[in-house]
Amino acid sequence: MVNKISLIAPCGMNCGICIAYLRKTNKCCGCRGSDLNKPVTRVRCKIKTCEFFQNGKSKYCFKCKKFPCDNLKRLDARYKTKYNMGMIENLNNIKNIGIRKFVNNEQERWRCPECRGTKCVHIGYCLKCSSHL
């Protein structure tokens, strides 16, 4: 797993465990990366393009006075239901322990015990060796 702070999206998503980032073809570079070759849904993300981030002063939703907003709540609920992971929990962890410790914890949490690759949150297994979560 790539241990990069830049792979943590404003909403708290760890892009390093996303299928779009992990796949071999048509790879996404993460929410904070270039919008070139990204699907329109990622480019126009309501959270990433929120006015709160337009001034460039903040990197994460938890610093917004509207936290958690309705868009974040919907995303969080979907990920909790489908993938057993929550954005609001991630953001609260970043706020409480700091981004570096959060990224280190994520690296351990999503590391494949079989091959030390990265388990994908969206498909439930390691793309490198197909070991399940």
Residue 126 within a domain? no
Nearest one of 46, 44, 99, 42 to 72, comparing CA atoms: 46
Residue 128 within a domain? no
Report the distance separating Cα 97 and Cα 74, nearest Å.
Answer: 24
Residue 72 within a domain? yes
In tens, the pLDDT along 56-70 reads: 667 899 999 999 999
Lowest mean pLDDT among 50-59, 79-88, 96-105: 50-59
Residue 26 within a domain? yes
Whether the Cβ atoms of residue 42 and residue 10 lie closer than 8 Å to each other = no
**Packed helices 99-109 and 87-97: angle between N→C axes, nearest 10 degrees:** 130
Res. 133 pLDDT band, cuts 50 70 90: low
Residue 123 within a domain? no
Q: Write down the pTM of the prediction.
A: 0.88
Domain hosting residue 86, numbered range: 5-109
In tens, the pLDDT along 8-58 reads: 999 999 999 999 899 888 888 888 888 877 777 778 888 888 888 777 667
